[in-house]
Amino acid sequence: MIEKNTGEFDYNMDDIRDTGEFDYNMDDIRDTGEFDYNMDGIRDTGEFDYNMDDIRNTGELGYDMQGARTMRSSYNTGSLHTGSKRPGYAGILKYVVSAVIIAYIVVLMIFTSGSTKSFTQVEKAVEASLDTSNLKQVDVQGLKRYYGLNSADYEGVMLYSSQVSMSTEEVLLIKVKNEKQVQQVKDAVQKRLDNRKKDFDGYAPEQVKLIEQAQLSVRGKFIFLAVAPKAEAYKDAFAKSL
Amino acid sequence: MLFSSVTFLFVFLPITMALYYIVPQKFRNVVMLIASLIFYAWGEPIYIVLMLLSIVLNYICGLDIEEKQDDPRRKKMALIFAVVVNLLLLGFFKYYGFLMDSLNAVLPVNIPYRDLPLPIGISFYTFQAMSYIIDVYRGEAKTQKNILYFALYISMFPQLIAGPIVRYIDIEQQLKSRVLSLRKFGLGAEYFIIGLAKKVILANSMGQIYEQIARQQMGTFSVLTAWVGCISYAFQIYFDFSGYSDMAIGLGKMFGFEFRKNFDYPYISTSITEFWRRWHISLSTWFREYVYIPLGGNRCNQSRHIMNLLIVWMLTGFWHGAAWNFLIWGLYYGVLLILEKYVWGKSLMRLPSAVQHIYAMVLVLVGWVFFSSPSLGYAFQYLGVMFGPGASGFADKQALFYIFTHWLLYLIAIAGSSAFGINLLKRIMSEPNSVKVRKIVAGVIYIGIFLISVAFLVTESFNPFLYFRF
């Protein structure tokens, strides 16, 4: 019985429908779509099968030609992933680490975040803690003179400085208007501390020590600096007031 | 720590390099990793924990995807989890304040919120982490089993703070084996020195000019001054960022790594399309690979294609900063690119090339006004001055002052914006006939540039880094 031509090419003219793909060895079995070099009707593994053992070459030269993996390397598994069947630890671990990250963020929020309070609220709280026997409030010109900053650029400025020239005591509180100013103020504060240290180096070692133990705290938009014997107490008052 | 700082140049870098070259090869990655962590912790003693946690999380997610590789559905869920967590982290630290501010502006109530400072480099390392996750998912890269190698990829100090955004597949092989050679080291040093000079000499100087001009009240300066300011900013941001990228590439080379270039003389472009093939190449590549193409790219109908472009460009703009002017900047370029693709691209190419250059430059300059302004209102005001309505006259003494006192700076800047500058240097260095003299000339030139840069660095108090707040 002669079968109908299927409308597709019938190269070997045997009246059987070609499989639509090349049928090089003309056995009417569909070639696997990949080269079948050794013409055994078995699909080559898609990689060169030099030793023609129908075992997939491992992708690296498999010199022993026994189809066994010659090198213990990750390439030999034939897949890009080195996956052997591992137990599913990663699936659980990722949730654990995510939880740790969330905990870390919570801690950050508590201890380093900014504040919802206004400048005046924080200022009052800090001022209340200050020992004003040495520290006196300095007007806004002081900020320009000592730090090179324009107080008009910021939302709030409070500066206390020692009236005695041999003392480096100073307390500064600034609330900036935006994030970009934070680095600017931090740099100015650092410069001030460096300058003061240079001024007193060799003359008054206790003052230099005060500078080295200065308390600097950046909380959101608030920047706080205290150079004083009670600097830590002032910083705590600041932190509490946020 | 910044590359353009005395601590880095004379303490951190020499020590790290010495250790790196002394230790046996198998310890080099560890040395580099420890150095990178110190580098980051120097500026971010608190947020280093965040970066480490991000590294651990992404490492585990990579393994997770590999475990699920035989189950397409679970594999995809794993991918989504990883990408979402990364985006949430980035979104929280970077955009939370912006979101609250915008909400507060719209809502009748004012929701107080406590803000957190932005971790340095988070935009870069989060994008690199996502590049790894997606490449592993797609099967283009193997899962990195060694957590130290993975940590090195994420935190490597040449590219940690300011890019380029290195795709994992570009570096996968190099983590395992890379070549160190004197020649590579020398090339790297050349790149680094040029980058440093760009940043410290050119960018900072241009930045000073821009700051002085932009600080003034609107309406007190002329059109020409406004343009001088805008052009100065354009030079500043180019030399700043490309200088940093050059330093990163140079440092990479000195440690045996090859990064792709991030800038290709963008200011010689003749169209906006070309500009974005030359500016911040690693970022546009990232968005193309991981957002544009998954959305469908240009293999869809026209309206979908336009939508894809708009989304990608809004995100590109927004990546640069949590502010409306960045979104508008991105959208601006998105619209221009769409217009070039669908409306006037072909006609543009028929114009004389001088016109094309001017077209591109003017549009880019206008774009920079949006990018550099503290607010949208300011941007429009500044543009008003640039184009007439807001100015006090066309030209004033101030504009001429800046041009005449800084003519050499502008000349060098123009030469440095195209290959002309570097080719001139190379010509000079290859003039002599004998190899020995050539080496001496090259040495003198590069060391000279380096010393001048250090001089600028030490004496100038003005050393901002614009791309630092990402």
B52 — contact with chain A (CB < 8 Å)? no
Q: Is the same domain home to A3 and A65?
A: yes
If phi over 0 gives left and psi between -120 and 50 gives alpha, with beta otherwise, what is residue A117? beta
The answer, for A91 touching chain B at a CB cutoff of 8 Å, is: yes
Quick one: A44 and A72 in the same domain?
Answer: yes
Q: Cβ of B273 under 8 Å from any chain A Cβ?
A: no
| Angle at alpha carbon of residue B196, lines to B194 and B197, rounded to 5° | 65
Structure-block tokens of residue A131: 């020992």
The backbone region for A136, taken as left when phi is positive above 0, alpha when psi lies in -120 to 50, beta otherwise, is beta
Per-residue model confidence (pLDDT) at position B151: 95
**Interface contact A94-B81, CB threshold 8 A:** yes
What is the per-residue pLDDT for B399? 87
Residue A75 clears pLDDT 50, i.e. is over it: no
Q: Where are the alpha helices (DSSP H) in B8-121?
A: 13-22, 28-43, 48-67, 72-106
Sheet holding A170-175, edge to edge: A135-137, A156-162, A170-175, A222-227, A215-219
- Domain total of chain A: 3
Average pLDDT for B141-164 = 92
The reported pLDDT for the residue numbered B416 is: 92
Mean pLDDT of chain A: 71
3 state SS of A236: helix
Q: Say yes or no to pLDDT of B397 above 50.
A: yes
What is the token pair recorded at A42? 């078995």
Neighbours of B180 (CB within 10 A): 15
A191 and A228 fall within a common domain = yes
The per-residue pLDDT for A67 is 40
The answer to whether B116 contacts A114, with C-beta atoms less than 8 Å apart, is yes
Average pLDDT over residues B225-245: 94
How wide is the angle at C-alpha B442 spanned by C-alphas B433 and B194, nearest 5°? 145
Whether the Cβ atoms of residue A122 and residue A175 lie closer than 8 Å to each other = yes
Q: Of B338, B323, B335, nearest to B379 (Cα)?
A: B323
User: Given CB atoms, is B176 within the 8 Å cutoff of chain A?
Assistant: no
Most B-contacting residue of A76, A79, A81, A217 (CB-CB within 10 A), to test interface: A81
Q: Which range among A66-80, B97-111, B217-231, B386-400 shows the weakest confidence by mean pLDDT?
A: A66-80
**Within its chain, how far is the Cα of A169 from the centroid?**
38
Q: Which residues have C-beta within 8 Å of that of residue A63, sequence separation ≥ 6? A: A70
Determine what percent of chain B is predicted with pLDDT higher than 90.
61
Angle CA B247–B252–B254, to nearest 5: 95
Q: Quick one: A62 and A104 in the same domain?
A: no
Those residues with Cβ within 8 angstroms of residue A11's Cβ, 6 or more apart along the chain or in another chain: A18, A23, A26
pLDDT at B363: 96
Q: What are the distances in angstroms from CA A76 to CA A67, A68, A85, B406, B419?
A: 11, 10, 15, 63, 46
What six digits make up the tokens of B248?
């990163």
Contact B57 A94 (CB under 8 A): yes
Same domain, A75 and A93: no
Q: Are B161 and B121 in contact (CB under 8 A)?
A: yes
Q: What is the CA radius of gyration of chain A?
A: 39
**What's the whole-number average pLDDT of chain B?**
90
Rank A183-192, B157-166, B394-403 by mean pLDDT and report only the highest: B157-166
Q: Which of residues A221 and B255 earns the better pLDDT score? A: B255
Whether the complex's predicted ipTM surpasses the cut of 0.90: no
> How high is the pLDDT of residue A36?
46
Q: Is the domain of A55 the same as that of A137?
A: no
A54 and A94 belong to one structural domain:
no
Residue A53 scores a pLDDT above 60: no
Q: What percent of chain B has pLDDT over 70?
A: 97
What does the pLDDT read at residue B461? Answer: 60
Q: Does pLDDT of B308 surpass 80?
A: yes
Q: Could you tell me which chain B residue has the CA closest to the CA of A182?
A: B117
Work out the pLDDT band at B45, boundaries 50, 70, 90: confident
A144 and A213 fall within a common domain: yes
Q: In which band, very low, low, confident or very high, does the pLDDT at B395 lie, cut at 50, 70 and 90?
A: confident
Contact A83 B69 (CB under 8 A): yes
Report CB contact under 8 Å: A81, B66.
yes
Sign of the C-alpha dihedral computed for residues B425, B426, B429 and B431 taken in this order = negative
Task: Give A 104-123 residues with CB within 8 A of chain B.
Answer: 104-105, 108-109, 112-116
Q: Nearest 5 degrees, angle CA B401-CA B404-CA B406?
A: 100
Nearest Cα residue to B286 out of B166, B142, B120: B166
pLDDT per residue as tens digits for the range B330-384: 999 999 999 999 998 888 889 999 999 999 999 999 999 999 988 888 899 899 8
pLDDT of residue A37: 45
If one compares B262 and A210, the residue with the highest pLDDT of the two is B262
Domain boundary assignment for chain B:
6-177, 184-459
Residues A125 and A237 both lie in one domain: yes
Q: Are B51 and B40 in contact (CB under 8 A)?
A: yes
Nearest to B150 by CA among B57, B286, B24: B57
**pLDDT given for residue A45 in this prediction:** 43
* Residue A104 Cα, gap to closest chain B Cα (Å): 8
pLDDT tens for each residue of B49-62 = 999 999 999 999 99
CA-nearest residue of chain A to B82?
A94
Long-range contacts made by residues B262-268, C-beta under 8 angstroms, separation at least 24?
B262/B163, B262/B164, B263/B238, B265/B417, B265/B418, B265/B419, B266/B238, B266/B364, B267/B234, B267/B238, B267/B361, B267/B364, B267/B417, B267/B418, B268/B357, B268/B417, B268/B418
Partner A contacted by B288 (CB < 8 A): no
- Which of A29-33, B266-270, B294-298, B389-393 has the highest average model confidence (pLDDT)? B266-270
Would you call B143 and A88 a contact, using CB atoms and an 8 Å cutoff?
A: no
pLDDT of residue B366: 95
Interface touch A179/B469, C-beta < 8 Å: yes
Higher pLDDT, B154 or B394: B154
Q: What is the DSSP string of B365-386?
A: HHHHHHHH-SSHHHHHHHHHHH
Percent of chain A with pLDDT over 90: 4
Q: Which residue type sits at B425? A: L
Q: What range does the domain containing A203 cover?
A: 119-241
Listed residues A61, A96, A113: the one ending a domain? A113
> Which of B48, B50, B53 has the most A C-beta neighbours within 10 Å, making it the best mutation to test the interface with A?
B53
List the beta strands (DSSP E) in A37-114: none
Give B107 or B53, the one with higher predicted confidence.
B53
Contact indicator for B89, A102 with CB cutoff of 8 Å: no
B280 is catalytic: no
Task: Tell me which of B202 and A239 has the higher pLDDT.
Answer: B202
What integer pLDDT is reported at residue A163 of this predicted model? 80
b/e code A141-162 from CB counts within 10 Å (16+ = b):
ebbeebbebebeebebbbbbbb
d(CA B88, CA B101): 18
Q: Is B67 on the interface with A (CB under 8 A)?
A: yes
Please give the radius of gyration of chain B, using alpha carbons only, rounded to the nearest integer.
Answer: 23
Among the options B280, B305, B320, B406, which is catalytic? B320
